């Protein structure tokens, strides 16, 4: 964008990320910066917001008195004046079960019932004749996984001369007593928790994540209750989250001490220690030798 030509590159990335979020895309993230300023903090907040929205929009569920599960899902399609799809969110391709290369440049008529398509054409004419910016219409898609849509907001941009369809869907899952029992629901919940704990374990084992990861951070990132995280992690791995993460950081620091020439203070900062004294004490406690002496021993062997 030309108006962002001479600004900080990270601001451009934040702007692009916010535009993606406005279109319903939550799969990309602003790359982590080595600097720690105000702009970097804003970028991190935007990433966290994106994760939260992705979770709430795609996985929010509630039950009615008829025992039906309803799932809200939001996505967008962008059409030109001939109602040909020119842009779409990643979720669009997934929900419509159509490969991205087939969805691009396809007519919206291919996915709508005839009645819905005619209604959409009428709405498009209204946007032009009444000079409106947005109009709401109900659309019915001819797809087994998308029974119907409601409150579809059609927005027209005179700048790009494009129509954007913001679609909010309700997907129904019928209640079947034989399978959707309370015990099954509890089992599914346990499976979900175990999968999330395994993901957290894998995340903490990766060297690039050796910076300190607090319980609050992990709870938000992996959408799991903090108390459940602490209890289940200890049950599965016979260690607390904090102790396990500390061991991973210390092992990573040992590897950096013995295999690189990085200054010890830099290694301490890289592995999430706020001060060198704390790093030194923890290193000696775990390895029974100071990082400086260990490095000298390795150098002599070489």
Q: What is the pTM of this model?
A: 0.40
Q: Report H helices in 2-143.
A: 9-22, 38-59, 90-96, 100-103, 114-129
Contacts within 8 Å (CB) and 24+ apart, 34-39: 39/8, 39/10, 39/11, 39/14
pLDDT digits (tens, 9 = 90+) for 21-51: 776 666 677 877 777 778 888 888 887 777 6
Distance (Å, rounded) from C-alpha 30 to C-alpha 40? 10
Residues of the chain scoring pLDDT < 50: 1-2, 57-72, 144-145, 147-148, 150, 170-184
For the chain, give the mean pLDDT.
Answer: 74
For the chain, domains (ranges, CATH) are 2-59 (1.10.8), 67-173 (3.30.450.20), 182-301 (1.10.10.60)
Predicted confidence at residue 233, as pLDDT, reads 92
How far is it, in rounded angstroms, from Cα 2 to Cα 72? 36
């Amino acid at each position: 964008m030309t108006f962002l030509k001479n600004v900080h590159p990270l601001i451009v990335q934040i702007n692009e990320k916010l535009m993606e979020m406005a279109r319903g895309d939550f799969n990309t993230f602003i790359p982590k910066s080595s600097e720690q300023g105000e702009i970097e903090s804003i970028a991190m907040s935007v990433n966290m917001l994106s994760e939260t929205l992705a979770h709430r929009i795609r996985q929010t569920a509630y039950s009615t008195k008829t025992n039906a599960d309803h799932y809200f899902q939001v996505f967008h399609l962008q059409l030109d004046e001939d109602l040909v799809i020119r842009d779409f969110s990643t979720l669009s391709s997934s929900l419509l079960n159509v490969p991205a290369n087939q969805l691009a440049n396809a007519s919206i008529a291919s996915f709508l019932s005839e009645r819905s398509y005619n209604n959409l054409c009428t709405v498009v004419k209204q946007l032009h004749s009444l000079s409106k910016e947005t109009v709401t219409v109900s659309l019915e898609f001819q797809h087994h996984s998308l029974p119907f849509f409601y409150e579809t907001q059609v927005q027209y941009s005179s700048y790009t001369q494009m129509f954007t369809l913001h679609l909010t869907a309700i997907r129904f899952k019928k209640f079947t007593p034989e399978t959707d029992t309370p015990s099954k629901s509890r089992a599914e919940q346990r499976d979900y928790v175990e999968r999330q704990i395994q993901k957290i374990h894998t995340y903490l084992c990766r060297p690039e994540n050796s910076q300190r990861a607090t319980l609050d951070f992990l709870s938000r990132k992996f959408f799991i209750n903090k108390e459940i995280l602490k209890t289940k992690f200890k049950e599965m791995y016979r260690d607390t989250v904090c102790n396990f993460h500390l061991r991973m950081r210390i092992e990573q620091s040992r590897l950096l001490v013995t295999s690189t020439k990085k200054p010890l203070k830099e290694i301490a900062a890289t592995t999430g220690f706020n001060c060198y004294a704390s790093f030194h004490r923890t290193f000696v406690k775990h390895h029974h030798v100071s990082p400086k002496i260990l490095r000298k021993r390795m150098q002599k062997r070489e």
